[in-house]
Copies of this chain bind each other. A is one copy, B any other.
């Protein structure tokens, strides 16, 4: 476990490597957190739930940090409002990196002392938690850099592969099972393997591409209210949306910011940065629909996935028998089970080994800064 611990922790810092110091503290949107905050918050998790909980003589790095770097664990005390994370210039980045070292040293020592199964479970959760923030870091870094006038390059790490249209695969009506089964790490929201009855459907083997999305735009997709949810249409109108996030129409051509700069759109790549409203409207336009999470989970062995999180039309709701755990860690999943949609799969920004077919990612329907795309069902 110690080796894995150190590997995950180093990876977080490596992701921040290409940043300038100025990029670390900024919060350009309420949904985006400053990279410095991610570095500290993931560390706070281990300090709060492991070191302060189990190490009698643990010396806290800085008692203010609990307040500054708690995210949403009400049980763990007061915290900075989400929208104010970008106000913090202090502690400086260097101080946060020292905080990481301090906690890592404590954790290394703790891991050498033969922790109990229960303690190891918390650490495993902490590492999965940090991996989730590694993915959010990719989203947030893209947002920060992609909203600079100069479209600076981060590098080519999170590049997408081309999406080749391989047709549809048909799944037969019947009773299936979904949900996690096994002994390995998984989140509480995946538990409760259970039967679902599905009807015949066909699911596409590939994601919708940029080229296909251009066709939607050119067919007036963003101007035809018949294709949209009522709320989606309000969103289109209030935001004056005309294309996915990071698209810019310039020099008579669509360009997109990928993390390598602003470039002419690559038609063969899967479309990325569309929200649920857009995904739904596109499917309506094609006279198809989005998969449910059960359909996706049942069919997933018939197609490649892992490039982009895939919107489903399933709401994020508890599986049969779901129980919220006691204490702060019980706030991990259950309290978000309203008004959000499930996304399945994984993305190029998902740490290797972090996701699985039963993984239930979730976002609000209007959000699209995350690495997400669209697979159709008919």
Contacts and interface: CB of A to CB of B under 8 A. Distances in A.
Contact of A231 (B28, B93, B338): B338
B89 A229 contact: no
A22 B365 contact: no
A241 interface: no
Given A74-B233, A231-B338, A339-B365, A26 B89 contact: yes
A321 to B, nearest CB: 7
A194 B230 CA distance: 26
Contacts of A197: 175, 194-197
A230 B150 contact: no
Contact of A21 (B22, B145, B196, B228): B22
Contacts of A93: 22
Nearest to A80: B149
Nearest to A19: B89
A228 B148 contact: no
Given A150-B64, A197-B197, A199-B321, A228 B335 contact: yes
Interface residues on A, range: 35 or more
Contact of A22 (B24, B74, B330): B24
A251 interface: no
A190 interface: no
Interface in A183-231: 194-197, 199, 225-226, 228-231
Nearest to A320: B199
A87 interface: yes
Contacts of A54: none
Given A233-B74, A315-B317, A335-B230, A149 B22 contact: no
Contacts of A6: none
A337 interface: yes
B64 A20 contact: no
B90 A230 contact: no
A28 B87 contact: yes
A254 interface: no
B196 A229 contact: no
Contacts of A152: 90
Given A175-B175, A232-B338, A67 B194 contact: no
A236 B296 CA distance: 36
28 contacts: A20-B90, A20-B92, A21-B22, A21-B92, A22-B36, A22-B92, A22-B93, A25-B26, A26-B89, A64-B150, A72-B230, A75-B226, A87-B147, A88-B149, A89-B148, A90-B148, A90-B149, A194-B199, A199-B321, A229-B335, A229-B336, A231-B339, A232-B338, A289-B318, A313-B317, A313-B318, A314-B317, A339-B339
Nearest 4 CB-CB pairings of A with B: A315-B315, A195-B197, A22-B89, A74-B225
Given A75-B226, A230-B335, 6 more contacts: A86-B86, A88-B149, A90-B152, A175-B197, A199-B320, A232-B338
Interface of A: 20-26, 28, 36, 64, 67-68, 72, 74-75, 86-93, 144-145, 147-150, 152, 175, 194-197, 199, 225-226, 228-233, 276-277, 280, 284, 289, 313-315, 317-318, 320-321, 324, 330-331, 335-339, 365
